[in-house]
Amino acid sequence: MNPTPRLRLVTDAASEPVTLADAKAYCRVDLAEDDTLITSLIKAARRHVEKETGLALLTQSWQAVYDRWPDTAPQGASTQWWDGVREGPLSALIPTGLIEIPKRPFQTVAKIELLDAYGTLNTVDPGIYFAEVSDMRGAIVRKLGQIWPVIVLSPRGAIQISFSAGFDAAPYSGVPDDLLTAVKILIKHWYDNREPASDGRLAKAPRHVDDILAYWRPRRLK
C-alpha cells in the first residue's frame, strides 16, 4: 500500500504561462491603466487551473511528506519486532515498493531526506533509487538489491521528498494549448465581470472552461 503524502509548494513558478501582452490582446485592451489588474488576473487564472486539475503548468519546486515508506505497516500493526530495548512493526524493517508522486507533470527528484527523532534531516543516498515518469506521473523506485533506510522512533512526516513539476519553465513552452486557452478565457471573463471582486470574490468560471479542465483532472480507478 502506498501512503498518501502531504504536498507543500516550496517555490512557485518564476513566470506565468500567459504574458501580459497576450492577455491584453485577448481581452482587447490597448491602454496601460489596467496592467496591474490584468497581471493579477493572470496569476489567479493560472492558480485556478492548477487547483482544478492538480497540475503544475510551469516549473515549480514541491515537497512530498510521508510518514512511512510504501508497503510498510502503520502504527498499530500486529506483527512486532523487539531488540531487547525497543519494539515496532516488523514490516518497517524491510520496506518495499515504489513511491508515487501525485503532482503532475513530474520532472525530477532533487533529494530525499529523513527526519530523525532529534529533528535532524539526513539525505538518503541517491544511489539506492531512481525516478521514472509514466503518463506525466512520477514514481521513485528502489533499485534491485537495495533497501530503504530503516525509520525507527521517527516523528510524523519523517520522509521528505523534494522534487520539481511542471510542463516547462518558460511561458508557452510545453503547456498544452487547451490549458492556455482556459487561462485566457478566465482572464477575460474575470476582467469583464469585476463586480464580485468588490467583496473579495471572483465570478464563477464559464462552463466551457470547466469542460477543458475536466479532461485534465486526475482520473480515479474504481
Looking at residues 50-79, what average pLDDT do you find? 80
**Residue predicted with more confidence, 62 or 86:** 62
**Residue predicted with more confidence, 87 or 108:** 108
CB 49 within 8 A of CB 16: no
Is the pLDDT at 222 greater than 50, yes or no?
Answer: no
pLDDT over 90 percentage in the chain: 56
- Backbone φ/ψ region at 94: left (φ over 0), alpha (ψ -120 to 50), beta: beta
Is the pLDDT at 50 greater than 50, yes or no?
Answer: yes
CB 122 within 8 A of CB 113: yes
Looking at residues 105-113, what average pLDDT do you find? 95
CATH number of 8-57+170-216: 1.10.3230
**Residue predicted with more confidence, 217 or 219:** 217
pTM value is 0.81
Residue ranges per structural domain of the chain = 8-57+170-216, 62-163
Interaxial angle between packed helices 20-27 and 177-192, expressed in degrees from 0 to 180 and rounded to the nearest 10: 60
Distance of alpha carbon 156 from alpha carbon 27, whole angstroms: 48
CB 139 within 8 A of CB 131: yes
pLDDT value of residue 72:
57
Is the pLDDT at 212 greater than 50, yes or no?
Answer: yes
pLDDT confidence band for 87 (50 / 70 / 90): low
pLDDT confidence band for 198 (50 / 70 / 90): very low
pLDDT value of residue 91:
45
Grid cell, residue 81, equals 519486532
